[in-house]
Chain A
Amino acid sequence: MASKLQKRKSSSGQKTSKRGKNRPTLTVGEEEEPTNMESLGHPEIYPVVLTTKTQEIFNCRIDEDITDEQPYKLIKKEDILADFQNRAAVSDFYPVKKVIQEYPGDEILLVYDKDFKYGLNFYLVGTEEGKENYLNAPEIPEEQEEYKEHIPEEICIYKAPISKPWVSLGSEKEIEEESVKESTKKITYMISRKRHQFGAPIKFSDQNASSVKDAYIECTAYPDKNFTLRQLEKDIGMQVVPEVKDISTQTRWTYPKNAITQYHPREFSEEEKETLGQAKSLTDFLNNVSISVEIALQQNEIMNTFIDDWKCLAEEEGTFGDKTDTHLKEYQSFTDLHNLTEKMITCVSWHPVIYGLIAVSVAVRLSFEDRVHFSGKLLLQPSLILFWSFSDPIHPQLMLESPDDIFCFKFCPSDPNIIAGGCINGQIVMWDITAHADRIENIKTGGSRSKKVTLKPMFLLEPDSNKEAMYIRHCAVSSIENGHKHVITDIHWLPDTFEINRMGTVFENRSGICCQLVTCSADCTICFWDIRPQKALTPQPTEKKKDESIEIPFDVPSTFLHLDLAWKPLSKIRLSKGETSLDHCPTKISLSEDHLQYKAQDKMLAQSKAAKVGDMNPYQNLEGGLANHLKPREDFCTKFFVGTEEGEVIYTDWKMERDSETGRLMTKKPVSLYTVHDGAVHTVQRSPFYKDIILTIGGWNVAIWKEGVMTGPLLQTSCAPKRYTSGHWSLTRPGVFYIGREDGYIDIWDLLEKTHEPALSQNICITMITCIKPWTFSAKQQFIAVADYYGTLHILEIPWTLSHPSANEVLSMNYYFEREVKHLEYVDQRKKIREQEKKEMQLEMEKKKAGIHLKRRPS
């Protein structure tokens, strides 16, 4: 071995090799067997990977120490061992550590595997022999080429093999690995059997497998979910095939039939008709038959035999409730608990469209002197119109503010969101609640807000966040100087079918909305107002307005801005009593077409009316209506009834005429005037059924008039024990009207039943009744709102008998009125006759006297 080493050293010579060997302690328990290239036939070659660092350490850098010419390096075993110590497992030689440790020699050959023949970039030759082979090998290829050529020439000298001692090259290790050894000792069993049992004949018998327990073991099949497969894809071929059906039937073949169709009725021609008409048989026939026919015809003339008497006797079917119940039933009552001052209700009006909504105007219960006295206190409290709803008896839904107490107000018929009211100081106040319309429309549906209405004491009453009643400011007020000077006692909207100009001439109303008002006041005037902006005749008012430039609060709609404080009446009618200074003081007026406004208008109707004009709310665009050139209506009745404070009923004309002398516009003289009542007339109302029947109530009695009959009232009741303070026609029964008394009773008159006294008298409250307003919601529900002097509004339900007319009531009432008219005429005639008779009687008396005188003077 040593000699070989020396040989190599001398042959190579230049190399310096480092060898280091060490036995590093293994941290990991395993020693890896270095891989060798046995598979490739070189068991001594161990491929290694040398990093650059390792190359530097061992001076085997590629292309520097190791070149193509000398791609190997001899490394000292000691160096490698030292490297093991230094770098332990990090060392690149670690995988081949075992080989290096066992390496017999001192220098190990490390070859650069440029072509990666053995897989890695370097390989180690693990045996001396291998090393030698390699080192000598470079000579071999050169020699081999020659050798190959020389092979056939060289003679092989046979050398008998000399037995050498066994040199272990590591192969016994492999053999040991590969050989199969028994891991455990074999166990031997000896089984023996008795000898006589061998070869014995075998007996086989049948046995049921299930009868004997454990005779068999089965592997039952069970569905194992692990192995269930779901087919996710399927490959199917399809073909569309036309479906063909074969049907056959057997028809019954009967026989051929002739069928005919006729398009025109068969008729005789004219000649045929003639001839037939002439035939004698026809005459005879007619003679025979006409007798019976005539009898039949005449029978029909005499009497209708098919009338069901029972049916006609009975009145309407389907009564709701007890028919004998004639009393008004209390439904609900409303009182304003928030305000502390004593108030009375001055006017009541149902909302024309919304169910269950009623508006009430309240005024303070003070006389004139008291008002002046407490004026400071009164200024602090707002005067209100309250909107009550059936769903909430404690909180009013809306509160309309006005500058002073309102004594009368009306909803505009064409737009229920516009309200006009007359104040105690003579101003007209306008409100526009279009902005709050949803609030009041949805009262019924929003019942979930406060289902339980608890009555809390006053000091605990807090405005509920939802229920905060809205105070709505008024939109416009009329001008103080030009308007009324005293309390406005009555206010009406003129119907939207006509309009009036300054002269009182009637024109047709093209705008389709109610745009004019008429008011009467205690200053003895009746004024007509127009809510549309007037063309300024004088520039003064506009200038004044500019000077004032009042800032309008943002929540007030600007519908009537043009009217605010500058609103002048269109025309004024003064009811003068001739030459004297005392004038008539009108309390109520009744125009000819008012009765249209008594029924609860269908929402659809009202909407369609408004929609006719345009998409916009017509009240927002009032100026548009002025430009229309209007056609005057000739045959319009411009007369109306007025009730006065003195108890007179005046029938007068609103058309102005020009006074021939002075050239001024003058009101015409009233057509007729009657003093029938002993107190102020508080109700002048046309019947909802007859256009010309008017009811007037005042003082202690009631009078019914017919328009056109100048001789007097049709009916004048006798004086009642208590004063009548309010009244109203019934809306559904033509002969019924309701009167409120000063002691809180309601008298219900039924003219078809009794005309000398009320049919029914019922107590409602303890104090004077100030206003009565019935209203129909449906065929089943009719209410009457009764307002009293103490500020409570009672809603009563009208029973069936009072709300449903009998079959011919309208006709009967008509007959009644006609009879009364005839009666008046008769009375008139009789008066004349009586006068004549009286005259005759007087003449006779005088004659007699003269006769006696004559007789006494015998000549």
Chain B
Amino acid sequence: MPGPALSRVHGLFLSLVPSLEVEETLERLQSQKGVQGIMVANTEGIPIKSTMDDPTTARYAKLTCNLKARSTVHTSDPQNDFTFLRIRSKKNEIMVAPDKDYFLIVIQNPTESATLWAPSVIT
């Protein structure tokens, strides 16, 4: 019967497509200017995907999973929720986007890429 076979094939296709999408998205993000690394981790801090080396990845994943950002936002206003976190440090910027099960962490070096400089002395 072609029906179940089709569905099976369809299922296969479906299973293949998501990985491509994932890669595509990640590629797109990576191509932005100044991006140093991207990683995806689960809520426990175990990295799933990463463009950086393992120790760095593990470190970032662990540290971000312990963030109390969600509780900070949620407890003061139960209807509010934590959607995005940007940490600007001297050298770079860490962006954390949370979800139910996963975290997306992107590290960017912003000063290189900024096109609009602060006004300087120009003769």
- Which of B19, B28, B93 contacts A290 (CB under 8 A)? B28
Knowing A293-B97, A304-B118, say if A286 contacts B48 (CB, 8 Å): no
Q: Are A288 and B99 in contact (CB under 8 A)?
A: yes
Alpha-carbon gap, A254 to B70, bound state (A): 34
Q: Are B108 and A812 in contact (CB under 8 A)?
A: no
> Which residues from B are CB-within-8-Å of A293?
29, 84, 95, 97, 104, 106
Knowing A290-B25, A304-B110, A306-B88, say if A277 contacts B19 (CB, 8 Å): yes
Q: Are B47 and A267 in contact (CB under 8 A)?
A: yes
> Which residues from B are CB-within-8-Å of A309?
118-119
Task: Determine if A760 is an interface residue (Cβ-Cβ < 8 Å).
Answer: no
Q: Are A277 and B114 in contact (CB under 8 A)?
A: no
Per-residue CB contact flags for chain B residues 28-40 toward chain A (1 = under 8 Å, else 0) read 1100111100001
Q: Are B62 and A277 in contact (CB under 8 A)?
A: no
**Whole-angstrom distance from the CB of A563 to the nearest CB of chain B?**
51
SS class, residues of chain A in contact with chain B? helix
- Which of B19, B99, B113, B119 contacts A312 (CB under 8 A)? B119
> Which residues from A are CB-within-8-Å of B83?
292
Q: Are A277 and B25 in contact (CB under 8 A)?
A: no
Nearest chain-A residue to B50 (Cβ)?
A273
Alpha-carbon gap, A662 to B34, bound state (A): 66
- Which of B32, B47, B104, B120 contacts A301 (CB under 8 A)? B32
Number of interface residues of B (CB under 8 A): 51
Task: Determine if B74 is an interface residue (Cβ-Cβ < 8 Å).
Answer: no
Task: Determine if B116 is an interface residue (Cβ-Cβ < 8 Å).
Answer: yes
Q: Are B58 and A282 in contact (CB under 8 A)?
A: no
Task: Determine if A287 is an interface residue (Cβ-Cβ < 8 Å).
Answer: yes
Range for the number of chain A residues in contact with chain B:
35 or more
**Whole-angstrom distance from the CB of B64 to the nearest CB of chain A?**
13
Give chain B interface residues in 36-86, CB to chain A under 8 Å.
Answer: 40, 42, 44-49, 58, 61-62, 83-84, 86
Alpha-carbon gap, A296 to B110, bound state (A): 10
Task: Determine if A536 is an interface residue (Cβ-Cβ < 8 Å).
Answer: no
**Whole-angstrom distance from the CB of A514 to the nearest CB of chain B?**
38
Alpha-carbon gap, A557 to B33, bound state (A): 68
**Whole-angstrom distance from the CB of A735 to the nearest CB of chain B?**
9
Alpha-carbon gap, A496 to B73, bound state (A): 67
**Number of A-B contacts defined by CB within 8 Å:** 128
Q: Are A300 and B93 in contact (CB under 8 A)?
A: yes
Alpha-carbon gap, A156 to B86, bound state (A): 157
Task: Determine if A280 is an interface residue (Cβ-Cβ < 8 Å).
Answer: yes
Q: Are B114 and A806 in contact (CB under 8 A)?
A: no
SS class, residues of chain B in contact with chain A? mixed
Nearest chain-A residue to B14 (Cβ)?
A280
Give chain B interface residues in 98-123, CB to chain A under 8 Å.
Answer: 99-102, 104, 106, 108, 110-111, 113-123
Q: Are A278 and B18 in contact (CB under 8 A)?
A: yes
Task: Determine if A221 is an interface residue (Cβ-Cβ < 8 Å).
Answer: no
- Which of B35, B58, B61, B116 contacts A297 (CB under 8 A)? B35
Alpha-carbon gap, A843 to B65, bound state (A): 83
> Which residues from B are CB-within-8-Å of A806?
121
Alpha-carbon gap, A285 to B117, bound state (A): 34
Give chain A interface residues in 270-312, CB to chain B under 8 Å.
Answer: 273, 276-283, 285-290, 292-294, 296-298, 300-304, 306-307, 309, 312
> Which residues from B are CB-within-8-Å of A281?
101-102
Q: Are B95 and A297 in contact (CB under 8 A)?
A: yes
Alpha-carbon gap, A298 to B83, bound state (A): 18
Per-residue CB contact flags for chain B residues 1-37 toward chain A (1 = under 8 Å, else 0) read 0000000000000010011011001101100111100
Alpha-carbon gap, A266 to B108, bound state (A): 26
> Which residues from B are CB-within-8-Å of A290?
25, 28-29, 97, 104
Q: Are B95 and A283 in contact (CB under 8 A)?
A: no
Task: Determine if A265 is an interface residue (Cβ-Cβ < 8 Å).
Answer: yes
Most buried by A among B15, B46, B99, B123: B123
Task: Determine if A118 is an interface residue (Cβ-Cβ < 8 Å).
Answer: no
Alpha-carbon gap, A307 to B26, bound state (A): 29
Q: Are A266 and B95 in contact (CB under 8 A)?
A: no
Alpha-carbon gap, A273 to B61, bound state (A): 15
Q: Are A300 and B114 in contact (CB under 8 A)?
A: yes
Q: Are A816 and B123 in contact (CB under 8 A)?
A: yes
> Which residues from B are CB-within-8-Å of A276?
42, 48
Nearest chain-B residue to A304 (Cβ)?
B114
**Whole-angstrom distance from the CB of A370 to the nearest CB of chain B?**
50
> Which residues from A are CB-within-8-Å of B119?
309, 312-313
> Which residues from B are CB-within-8-Å of A812?
121-123
Per-residue CB contact flags for chain A residues 792-818 toward chain B (1 = under 8 Å, else 0) read 000000000000001110001001100
**Whole-angstrom distance from the CB of B57 to the nearest CB of chain A?**
9
Alpha-carbon gap, A288 to B97, bound state (A): 10
Alpha-carbon gap, A812 to B123, bound state (A): 7
**Whole-angstrom distance from the CB of B81 to the nearest CB of chain A?**
13
Q: Are B97 and A289 in contact (CB under 8 A)?
A: yes
Task: Determine if A596 is an interface residue (Cβ-Cβ < 8 Å).
Answer: no
- Which of A265, A283, A297, A298 contacts B18 (CB under 8 A)? A283
Alpha-carbon gap, A300 to B33, bound state (A): 9
Nearest chain-B residue to A812 (Cβ)?
B123
> Which residues from A are CB-within-8-Å of B32?
294, 297-298, 301
Alpha-carbon gap, A307 to B100, bound state (A): 34
> Which residues from A are CB-within-8-Å of B84?
292-293, 296
Q: Are A292 and B120 in contact (CB under 8 A)?
A: no
Give chain A interface residues in 815-847, CB to chain B under 8 Å.
Answer: 815-816
Task: Determine if A470 is an interface residue (Cβ-Cβ < 8 Å).
Answer: no
Nearest chain-B residue to A280 (Cβ)?
B18
**Whole-angstrom distance from the CB of A839 to the nearest CB of chain B?**
37
B: residues with CB less than 8 A from A are 15, 18-19, 21-22, 25-26, 28-29, 32-35, 40, 42, 44-49, 58, 61-62, 83-84, 86, 88, 93, 95, 97, 99-102, 104, 106, 108, 110-111, 113-123
Across the A-B interface, the 6 shortest Cβ-Cβ residue pairs: A300-B110, A289-B97, A304-B114, A283-B18, A265-B58, A297-B32
Excluding A297-B32, A301-B33, 14 further A-B contacts by CB distance (< 8 Å) are A265-B46, A277-B19, A281-B101, A283-B21, A285-B100, A285-B104, A294-B29, A297-B35, A297-B106, A304-B114, A309-B118, A312-B120, A806-B121, A808-B120
27 contacts between A and B (CB under 8 A): A265-B61, A268-B48, A276-B48, A277-B48, A278-B15, A280-B18, A282-B48, A282-B102, A283-B21, A283-B22, A285-B101, A286-B22, A286-B25, A287-B21, A289-B97, A289-B104, A294-B28, A297-B34, A297-B106, A300-B108, A301-B110, A302-B115, A304-B110, A306-B88, A309-B119, A312-B119, A312-B120
